[in-house]
Amino acid sequence: MNALVTGGTRGIGLACCRLFSAKGYRVTALWSRDEAAARAAQAELPEVEFVRADVADEGAVARVLSRFDRLDVLVNNAGVSLYAQVQDTSMEQFSRVMGVNAGGAFLTVKHAVRKMLSHGGAIVNVSSVWGVSGGSCESVYSASKGALIAFTKALARELAPSGITVNCVAPGVIDTAMNGRLNAEERSALSGEIPLGRFGTPEEVAEAVYFLATARYITGQTLGVDGGFC
């Protein structure tokens, strides 16, 4: 069984690599920028193949997928964030966030589906709680993650006849580098808004991803992993 995880060197992506590998999958993980994180991930998980590829570059995505005779699971986790008020956001920033978060998912699905059509498979997109509810000063990020939810619903209908399930997870506030900008006071205040009273862990999100990847009668759904936040 083969699994491809984008954004696989840190946080949720790395947790997915650990879990799917432990479950017996041959895992390939994509990364694009942080070479130090990629080296550390490769040292921890020598059985996983870490490949440098920008998911917003169709040529790079096509080259990676050409390596596979078949693909069983695709986890679209690669993403970039942007914290800015809309009036201070440039078109270049908008295009980058949408290009990676939504466009990258589109490109990986486009080329991965060809490796699933003969036998079926599972696609899990990693959205965000902000894709469901919207986040102040994160309008572009929220829009990109909301697009992933709509993409999931449409793809589920389109690919169901081929035996391919398509689902989505919407993590809440997770203890990852993406939330590293928060100071202790901000973390405490944000934790107080979460009914379960704490940030989630990457491993908890990975468990939800694995559940959806192996659930054969669930498709088109978005599963919140947010401690009751949304």
What are the residue numbers of the active site? 141
Tokens of 173: 């506030």
Question: What angle (nearest 5°) sits at the alpha carbon of residue 177, between those of residues 215 and 174?
Answer: 45
- In DSSP terms, 167 is beta-bridged to 124
Per the listing, tokens 């390939």 go with 28
Buried-state track 47-71, b at ≥16 Cβ within 10 A, e below 16: ebbbbebbbbebebbeebbeebeeb
Contact yes or no for 108/63 (Cβ under 8 A): no
Cα gap 181→145, rounded to integer Å: 20
